[in-house]
Structure 1
Amino acid sequence: MTAPLSVNSAIAGIAWPGIPAPTGAGLLAILFQLEQSQWWAPEEVSRRQRDQLKVLLSHAGTHVPFYRERLRDLGDLPADDTWPTVWRRIAPLIRAEIQAADAEETMITQALPPGHGELRQIYTSGSTGKPIRSVRTQLWELMWSAFTVRDHLWHRRDFRGTFATLRESGAGKALYPDGARSGSWGYSSATILKTGPMASLNITTPVEHQVEWLRRQDPDYLLTHPTIAQRLAVHCREHGVELPRLKQVITISENLKPEVRSAVRHAWGVPLVDIYSTREIGYIALQCPDHEHYHIQSEHVFVEVVNEEGQPCAPGEVGKLLVTSLHNLAMPLIRYDIGDFVEVGPPCPCGRGLPVINRILGRTQNMLIMPSGQRRWPLLSSANIESMLEIAPGIRQYQLVQKAPDLIELRLAVTRALGADAEARLAEWVRTKLGAPFRVVFAYFDEIPRTAAGKFEDFVCEIDR
Structure 2
Amino acid sequence: MDRRTTPLGIISATPGVVWPALPDAPGAALLAILFQLEQSQWWPAERLELAQRRQLSALLAHARDRVPFYRDRLPRGWPDSADAKAWEAAWRSLPVLRREEIQAADDSEAMLADALPPGHGEYREVFTSGSTGRPIRGVRSQLWELVWSAFTIRDHLWHRRDLTGTLAVIRESGAGKAAYPQGDMQRGWGFSSAGVFETGRLASLNVATPVEQQLEWLVRQDPDYVLSHPSILARLATASRDAGLRLPRLRQAMTIAETLRPDARQAIEAAWNVTVADVYSTREAGYLALQCPDHPHYHVQSEGLRVEVVGEDGQACVPGETGRVLVTPLHNLAMPLIRYDIGDAAEVGPPCPCGRGLPVLTRILGRRQNMLRLPGGERRWPLLSSGDLAGLMEAVPPMRQYRIAQKALDHLHVALAVARPPTAEEEAAVIAWARRKFGAGFRVTIEAMAELPRSAAGKFEDFVCEVPEGG
Shorter-chain TM-score range:
over 0.9
- Residues 192-233 of structure 1 show CA distances to partners (whole Å, capped at 9, x for unaligned) of 100111000011111111111111110000000000010011
Alignment of 1:45-64 (within 5 A): 45-64=48-67
Are 1:10 and 2:10 an aligned pair? no
| Deviation of 1:418 (Å) | 1.2
Aligned partners of 2:395 and 2:157: how far apart in 1? Answer: 44
Q: Letter of the aligned partner of 1:40 in structure 2?
A: W
Instruction: Note if 1:289 corresponds to 2:293.
Output: yes
2:398 equivalent among 378, 394, 399:
394
**Paired residue for 2:357?**
353
| CA distance, structure 2, for counterparts of residue 391 and residue 441 of structure 1 | 15
What CA distance in whole angstroms lies between the structure 2 residues aligned with 1:102 and 1:392? 47
**Equivalent residue for 1:147?**
151
Partners of 2:349 and 2:189 lie apart in 1 by 32
Unaligned runs of 5+ in 1: none
- Corresponding residue for 2:284? 280
Is 1:455–2:434 an aligned residue pair? no
In the alignment, which of 26, 30, 41 is matched to residue 23 of structure 1? 26
Which amino acid in the other structure matches residue 363 of structure 1? Answer: R
Deviates more, 1:97-106 or 1:124-133: 97-106
One-letter code aligned to 2:429:
R
Determine helix, strand or coil for the equivalent of 2:412: strand
Aligned AA for 1:6? G
Deviation (angstroms), 1:78: 5.1
- Partner letter of residue 63 of structure 2? A
Give how far 1:191 is off: 3.2
CA distance change for structure 1 residues 26 and 316 in 2, over 3 Å: closer, same or farther? same
Equivalent residue in structure 2 for 1:411, among 415, 422, 425: 415
Q: Could you list the per-position Cα deviations for residues 55-97 of structure 1 after superposition, in whole angstroms to 9, with x for gaps in the alignment?
A: 0000001111100111136634553121211100001000000
Separation in structure 2 between the aligned mates of residue 214 and residue 2 of structure 1, nearest angstrom: 26
CA contact (8 A) 2:54 2:81 kept: no
How big is each residue's C-alpha offset from its partner over 1:171-204, in whole Å with a ceiling of 9 and x where there is no partner? Answer: 0000000000001111111231001110000111
Structure 1: distance between partners of 2:426 and 2:184: 42
For the residue of structure 2 that corresponds to 1:189, the secondary structure is coil
Contact persistence 2:33–2:147 (CA under 8 A): yes
Q: Describe the superposition over 1:294-327 as per-residue Cα deviations: whole angstroms up to 9, x where unpaired.
A: 0000000001111111001000000111100100
Aligned counterparts of 1:4 and 1:460: Cα–Cα separation in 2 = 44
Give, in whole Å, the separation in 2 of the partners of 1:257 and 1:307. 23
The aligned amino acid for 1:105 is: E
Residue 90 of structure 1 is matched in structure 2 by 94
Q: Does 1:423 align with 2:435?
A: no
Deviation at 1:2, TM superposition (A): 3.6
Residue identity over aligned pairs, in percent, reads 60
Query: Contact 1:303 / 1:321 at 8 angstroms: preserved in 2?
Result: yes
Query: 2:72 aligned with 1:69, yes or no?
Result: yes
Q: How far apart are the structure 1 equivalents of 2:77 and 2:409?
A: 41
Q: Letter of the 2:314 partner, please give it.
A: G
| 3-state SS, counterpart of residue 72 of structure 2 | helix
The 5 Å alignment of 1:309-320 reads 309-320=313-324
The SS at the match of 1:442 is strand
Distance 1:74 1:133 in 2: 30
RMSD of Structure 2 on Structure 1 (CA): 1.0
Alignment of structure 1 residues 136-285 onto 2, 5 Å = 136-285=140-289
1:63–1:76 Cα change, 3 Å: farther
Instruction: State how 1:363-382 maps to structure 2 within 5 Å.
Output: 363-382=367-386
State the shift of 1:388 in Å: 0.7
In 1, Cα distance between the equivalents of 2:76 and 2:383?
Answer: 42
Alignment partners' CA distance in 2, 1:5 and 1:328 = 28
Q: How many residues align?
A: 465
Is 2:57–2:81's contact at 8 Å kept on the other side of the alignment?
Answer: no
